Structure 1
């Protein structure tokens, strides 16, 4: 564990550097305190090959201020960094710690981050997989944001009764972390994301979200299909680049997956294969061994749209994932 109290001067040369995750933290801090006005980071690679992009330090500071204000962070609050500092989520935890002068504890990014934790934290950020593996110790964290992948309906139901203030985040590397949060703990949760302060949105002709933040000069045009609920609220539908056209019917994989998560416990995705009649047919890919009883439940399932029923079920050993836990959908 690395302890960095940002209310004081940080001596970078005294930070342990034996492991790669430690070196990532050191490299970021050196870059941050250097004269350059930008930071180089890489995209997650969930929808294509990871690429390096340049982010403005000034914009990262403004983003950190917005998150801290939203979560009511205070100087000397104890925070936990358990995500890779080579990606934007980990970098932004460090920036928030710098901006808000937090008492930051850094641990190796693992799937069970709270396994050896014995102290309480005001704030942390995790992936859904990390949260799933930390349910018995989430009370050690007062405020938690979850990002990197979509939350399953099963995990959301488990989080409703937790004493922790838990938010699902919406954002991408290009928007410098999240631009919207959705409360998923407590009794008054809604299926909508709420924009961060002074952030504006619209949908384009495709039905995709376009974002204008107070810290970015240009509008960010996404491939995320959304339904706008109000001036500062939206519901996420899915990715336009995942949409399946099957016999002229548009199928949204994420919406089908949301339904099937109530019967499938293992990792799975909805995808498609070429079909001479339909053009593309809906297929279900499951990580695991063939299960005839599960197949019966899937075929008998009451789908919102009958065209969403998979025409074929394929089994594989496991899915490739990004470092933040997203399944890489391109097979």
Structure 2
């Protein structure tokens, strides 16, 4: 059953399909459910960039079924469990919440994604399984009406972006079973979960049926029933057992800011004329910096001394003309000499560390 505000829709009703009174977001979500309930075998989804540049891929039904089964087995979900879908159902995380409800024969409350997903529920509302992003958790912890409802959740999974150490400590105080997820579109949501205990580092344990390994570059290689073939990721990990690993960082330069995957090279091309205007032929690059709420934020690093008449606000204003809000550098750093590789290229990782 899917519950939208005061409306309760059985899966049989959704299978027949008539929900014209609902706003577009819910109509799109219910259309996916109708397709699923009527046996559709393949779905098109946009990847986020975990295994390379974002692209559209086809996900088969059996992959999603395997993912739902593995998660259900991990959490020992029983029929008639109460779920909440507060993630965007156009993306894999939201779609999988709907699939889980249909496969587990559960009741799921469906709401449009927002910063305070628990705000509209009564204080005695209980949920057996909920998925959120870090920003939603942080907002709920800061909201006097939402915090008690977090305590009414049995199992809580959090994904889309890394959790700050401070937020991990706050989540660990909650009585619910909380886990940080590891996964991507290609693996049909998460393939591993790390119990949030408030201590670092997080140790990820793979779902049933998932096999992990690393290549010569210590990149995580995944073989799983929810993936069509073995996947080599851009994540550097340390494997501590056949079922457990510690995430160390990215092997590429992709920035994950609140779940939005940002490609530095693309931003660098867009801002080239602005940088040249102020700094002539100075070298520069886009990197990531820590952010307490979003995990990472975009920063710009320029090989130059800071100008005496430097006006950061005006410069950022110029950049916003050519960049989306999420891609605009939040900070600008000046370094007199970049660190280089033996071949003379900019060593981005080591140079960026000089700003920390």
TM-score range, shorter chain: 0.7 to 0.9
Which of 297, 316, 330 pairs up with 1:269?
A: 297
1:146 has 2:152 as partner: no
Mapping 1:243-254, distance limit 5 Å: none
Assess if the C-alpha contact under 8 Å between 2:180 and 2:194 holds in 1: yes
How far did 1:306 drift? 10
SS at 1:80's partner residue?
A: strand
Aligned match of 1:327: none
Q: Distance in 1 between matches of 2:37 and 2:14?
A: 12
Aligned match of 2:338: none
CA offsets per residue over residues 72-95 of structure 1, 9 Å max, x none? 111001111111110000110011
How far did 1:268 drift? 5.4
Q: Distance in 2 between matches of 1:189 and 1:112?
A: 27
1:214 has 2:225 as partner: yes
Aligned match of 2:88: 84
Which of 234, 238, 251 pairs up with 1:227?
A: 238
1:184 has 2:190 as partner: no
Which of 125, 132, 140 pairs up with 2:131?
A: 125
How far did 1:33 drift? 3.1
CA offsets per residue over residues 242-294 of structure 1, 9 Å max, x none? 289xxxxxxxx77x73xxx6xx6787536563648xxxxxxxx9748x9xxxx
Aligned match of 2:41: 37
Which of 227, 230, 247 pairs up with 1:236?
A: 247
Aligned match of 1:174: 186
CA offsets per residue over residues 21-48 of structure 1, 9 Å max, x none? 2022122113213454211222236898
How far did 1:129 drift? 0.6
Q: Distance in 1 between matches of 2:43 and 2:86?
A: 20
Aligned match of 1:113: 117
Shift of the 242–77 alpha-carbon distance from structure 1 to 2, 3 Å rule, reads same
Q: Normalising by the residue count of structure 2, what TM-score does the alignment of the two structures yield?
A: 0.68
Mapping 1:59-98, distance limit 5 Å: 59-98=63-102
How far did 1:63 drift? 0.7
CA RMSD of the aligned region, Å? 3.2
Shift of the 63–38 alpha-carbon distance from structure 1 to 2, 3 Å rule, reads same
1:156 has 2:168 as partner: yes
Shift of the 272–201 alpha-carbon distance from structure 1 to 2, 3 Å rule, reads farther
Which of 205, 216, 231 pairs up with 1:205?
A: 216
Q: Distance in 1 between matches of 2:53 and 2:230?
A: 23
Aligned match of 1:308: 353
